[in-house]
């Protein structure tokens, strides 16, 4: 088994644990590269199908290419798609810096969906190497009432035994990609030939390395126009993946505040 085989096997194990222990369960599908890998891994785990709904929390500000991709692959992959919208920015905590405040709309939209469908588990495609706060996460991350992440009081997690607390008003965020790195994602995409939104590939010397809302996501300088070229670029790159995501950089603790409140 090579490293991708090991990552794949571990992610499948995690998804099967979630499917067994957390009902009802849903998976977040942000239409980005990581969440497409996640859908792919679910189909591996469940032999070609995704036996729970996928959720798109729609800020209404995604790129048109992303909506087109969503509609096309919902059908192709035979997904049960749940759509949720987000409250206007005026309803969000005004003490957050502007881009974080805008991103926090998604937190509110997600919270509403979790409540509406009374979800016990939500599978999300975050990775430790994306952002320092995400590095603190557990594979199974219990959220208390109000969906708060209690970063200072996380359960122990070892020997592949995951916390599955059962209390009303709680849910568990499940992170099957936590140990993957950005380059692993791309190598897996290459190996498995997983379709992606083409915004990830360079046009006129720029490409998106990470996809969020149109107004708070910027492209990076790049000439990588194929998966192989992206991998080659990443092997030499030293800038961080989320450099183009404005809310990560506004203040030292903005992203952590977002995450404690339930952001991904």
| Residue 52 or 66 having the CB closest to other proteins | 52
For residues 112 to 151, the per-residue mask of contacts with other proteins, x marking binding by CB under 8 A and - elsewhere, is ----------------xx--xx-xx-x-----xx----xx
| Residue 145 or 223 having the CB closest to other proteins | 145
- How many residues of this chain interact with other proteins, rule: CB under 8 A? 62
Judged by CB under 8 A, the residue of 61, 98, 155, 218 near other proteins is 155
Residues in the chain: 264
Q: With CB under 8 A as the contact rule, which of the stretches 3-11, 28-36, 53-61, 203-211 interacts with other proteins?
A: 3-11
Return the structure tokens found at 82. Answer: 């749940």
The Cα–Cα gap between 241 and 223 comes to 16
The Cα–Cα gap between 86 and 106 comes to 6
Quick check: 76 binds other proteins (CB under 8 A)?
Answer: no
Quick check: 2 binds other proteins (CB under 8 A)?
Answer: yes
| Residue 110 or 120 having the CB closest to other proteins | 120
Quick check: 156 binds other proteins (CB under 8 A)?
Answer: yes
- Residue 201 Cβ vs other proteins, minimum distance, rounded to whole Å: 22
Judged by CB under 8 A, the residue of 35, 164, 217, 222 near other proteins is 164
Quick check: 17 binds other proteins (CB under 8 A)?
Answer: yes
Tabulate helix, strand, coil % of the chain (nearest 5). Answer: 45, 15, 45
- Residue 200 Cβ vs other proteins, minimum distance, rounded to whole Å: 20
Quick check: 169 binds other proteins (CB under 8 A)?
Answer: yes
Residue 195 — φ and ψ, nearest 5°?
Answer: -70, 150
Give CA separation, 103 vs 18, 122, 255, in Å. 27, 19, 10
Provide the 3-class DSSP secondary structure of residue 221: strand
The Cα–Cα gap between 229 and 206 comes to 13
Quick check: 49 binds other proteins (CB under 8 A)?
Answer: yes
Q: With CB under 8 A as the contact rule, which of the stretches 52-60, 84-92, 166-174, 207-215 interacts with other proteins?
A: 166-174
| Residue 48 or 94 having the CB closest to other proteins | 48
Helix (H) or strand (E) holding 65: helix 64-76
Buried b (16+ CB within 10 A) or exposed e, 57-94: bbbeebbeebeebbeebeeebebeebebebeebeebee
Given a contact cutoff of 8 angstroms between Cβ atoms, the answer to whether 65 and 40 are in contact is no
User: What is the binding site for other proteins (CB under 8 A)?
Assistant: 1-10, 12-13, 16-17, 19-20, 40, 43-49, 128-129, 132-133, 135-136, 138, 144-145, 150-152, 154-161, 163-170, 179, 181, 192, 238-240, 243, 252-253, 256
């Amino acid at each position: 088994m090579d490293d991708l085989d090991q990552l794949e096997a571990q992610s499948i194990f995690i998804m099967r644990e979630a499917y067994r222990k957390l009902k009802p369960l849903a998976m977040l599908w942000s239409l980005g590269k990581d969440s497409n890998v996640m859908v792919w891994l679910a189909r591996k785990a469940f032999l070609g199908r995704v036996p729970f709904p996928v959720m798109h929390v729609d800020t209404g500000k995604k790129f048109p290419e992303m909506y087109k991709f969503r509609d096309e692959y919902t059908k192709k992959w035979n997904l049960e798609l749940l759509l949720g919208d987000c409250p206007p920015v005026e309803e969000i905590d005004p003490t957050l810096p502007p881009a974080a405040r805008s991103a926090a709309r998604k937190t509110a939209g997600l919270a509403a969906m979790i409540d509406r469908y009374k979800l016990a588990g939500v599978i999300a495609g975050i990775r430790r190497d994306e952002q320092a706060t995400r590095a603190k996460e557990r594979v199974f991350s219990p959220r208390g009432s109000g969906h708060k992440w209690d970063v200072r009081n996380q359960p122990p997690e070892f020997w592949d035994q995951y916390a599955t607390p059962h209390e009303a008003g709680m849910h568990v965020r499940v992170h099957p990609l936590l140990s993957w790195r950005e380059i692993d994602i791309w190598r897996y995409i290459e190996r498995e030939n997983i379709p992606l939104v083409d915004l990830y590939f360079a046009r006129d010397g720029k490409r998106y390395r990470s996809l969020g809302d149109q107004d708070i996501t910027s492209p990076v300088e790049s000439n990588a126009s194929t998966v192989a070229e992206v991998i080659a670029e990443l092997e030499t790159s030293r800038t961080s993946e989320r450099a183009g995501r404005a809310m990560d950089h506004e203040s030292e603790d903005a992203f952590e505040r977002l995450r404690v409140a339930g952001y991904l």
